[in-house]
């Protein structure tokens, strides 16, 4: 048996690839659910009900999906240009750090002015965090997978140091957390008496905007061309270095915006447990979406639903909520196989 590249991948096959990957992941994880002694169909029914079965469940899923959309977009934008940004987690924390500094009383502005300033500050902090590894890549050929991954730990240590020192809330009873942002910096709620905030609207708007930029502008064309073949793009006169640095600023900025939105829309202050892995899960979201900005929204909703639904399922059945992590990992692996089969066909001989 050998793999033969397809001359053209049908649209139906591209659309069915993520669906098949998710179905395969659910089938594989069904074996683990059955191993616990729980009925598989009932367990998956409870997972679905816990994700979207009530007003509260639905808003919690949408709240959880908000940072995943932004980190998924960050990964999709970078991966499209073959900039392997594995550091969205650190960029998210840098955006959150900038949000609590700028939104913690530094500026005396009304809400309509302060919220955009705080969001832009978060994007700038995240963008600058990725700019360093991007410069090392284009100037010295340093592998950005290593630099962005290790920078996550550097950022977490920096945040930990600040939360135990300069940014520690004196009213926090000794807990390592920052002082809360001022009320004017808080994102408004989209649904009363829920945690769903305006960060979701920002994330959805950016998904549409990035899709338009990717398909209708010169910037998007250059991004795709550099990702397909940087040497050919340079031969055609495209500014490859500028495209890579521009992509780094945008990708890191999106991840930083996720951190700023989490602080200003959800928690109100910064702690070390702000993100349960949104940056890393954003890579899974981008891969399930096949790097498509609109597809990122659906993939983020799926991943968020798994985590929220698994929590509800684990309270009703003897299935640990860690099954959500296994489902996400299995979805990524199955998506890689599905993507391979979408681009290649099996031939005998």
Q: Does the structure show a pLDDT above 70 at 112? A: yes
Could you tell me which of 238, 323, 286 has the C-alpha nearest to residue 44? 323
Q: What is residue 349's predicted lDDT score, i.e. its pLDDT?
A: 64
Q: What is residue 334's predicted lDDT score, i.e. its pLDDT?
A: 92
pLDDT, tens digit, for every residue of 229-250?
999 999 999 999 999 999 999 9
Query: In the chain, where are the structural domains located?
Result: 70-289
pLDDT, tens digit, for every residue of 181-228?
999 999 999 999 899 999 999 999 999 999 999 999 999 999 999 999
Helix (H, G, I), strand (E, B) or coil at 276: coil
Region 326-347 average pLDDT: 88
The model's confidence at residue 340, banded by pLDDT at 50, 70 and 90, is confident
Look over the chain and give the mean of its residue pLDDT values, rounded to a whole number: 93
pTM over 0.85: yes
Could you tell me which of 221, 290, 217, 284 has the C-alpha nearest to residue 81? 221
Helix (H, G, I), strand (E, B) or coil at 202: helix
The model's confidence at residue 14, banded by pLDDT at 50, 70 and 90, is confident
- % of the chain residues with pLDDT over 90: 80
Tell me how far apart the alpha carbons of residues 93 and 181 are, in angstroms, rounded to a whole number: 15
Q: E-assigned strands of 151-236?
A: none
Token pair of 191, please?
């649904």
């Amino acid at each position: 048996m050998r793999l033969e590249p397809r001359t053209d991948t049908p649209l139906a096959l591209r659309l069915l690839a993520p669906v098949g990957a998710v179905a395969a992941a659910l089938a594989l994880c069904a074996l683990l659910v059955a191993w616990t002694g729980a009925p598989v169909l009932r367990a998956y029914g409870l997972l679905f009900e816990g994700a979207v079965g009530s007003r509260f469940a639905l808003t919690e899923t949408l709240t959880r999906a908000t940072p995943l959309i932004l980190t998924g977009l960050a990964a999709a934008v970078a991966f499209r240009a073959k900039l392997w940004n594995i550091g969205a987690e650190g960029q998210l924390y840098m955006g959150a750090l900038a949000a609590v500094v700028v939104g913690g009383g530094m500026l005396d502005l009304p809400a309509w002015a302060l919220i955009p300033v705080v969001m832009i500050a978060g994007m700038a902090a995240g963008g600058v965090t990725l700019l360093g590894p991007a410069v090392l890549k284009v100037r010295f050929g340093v592998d950005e997978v290593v630099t962005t991954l290790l920078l996550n730990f550097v950022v977490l240590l920096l945040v930990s140091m600040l939360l135990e020192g300069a940014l520690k809330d004196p009213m926090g009873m000794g807990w390592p957390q920052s002082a809360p942002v001022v009320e004017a910096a808080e994102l408004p709620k989209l649904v009363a008496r829920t945690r769903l905030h305006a960060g979701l609207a920002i994330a959805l708007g950016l998904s549409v905007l990035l899709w338009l930029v990717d398909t209708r502008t010169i910037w998007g064309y250059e991004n795709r061309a550099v990702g397909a073949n940087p040497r050919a793009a340079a031969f055609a006169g495209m500014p490859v270095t500028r495209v890579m640095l521009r992509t780094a600023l945008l990708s890191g900025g999106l991840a930083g915006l996720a951190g700023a939105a989490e602080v200003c829309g959800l928690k109100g202050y910064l702690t070390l447990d702000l993100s349960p892995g949104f940056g890393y899960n954003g890579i899974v979201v981008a891969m399930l979406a096949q790097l498509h900005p609109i597809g990122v929204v659906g993939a983020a909703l799926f991943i968020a639903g798994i985590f929220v639904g698994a929590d509800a399922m684990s309270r009703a059945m003897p299935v640990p909520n860690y099954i959500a992590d296994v489902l996400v990992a299995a979805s990524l692996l199955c998506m890689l196989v599905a993507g391979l089969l979408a681009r290649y066909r099996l031939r005998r001989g």
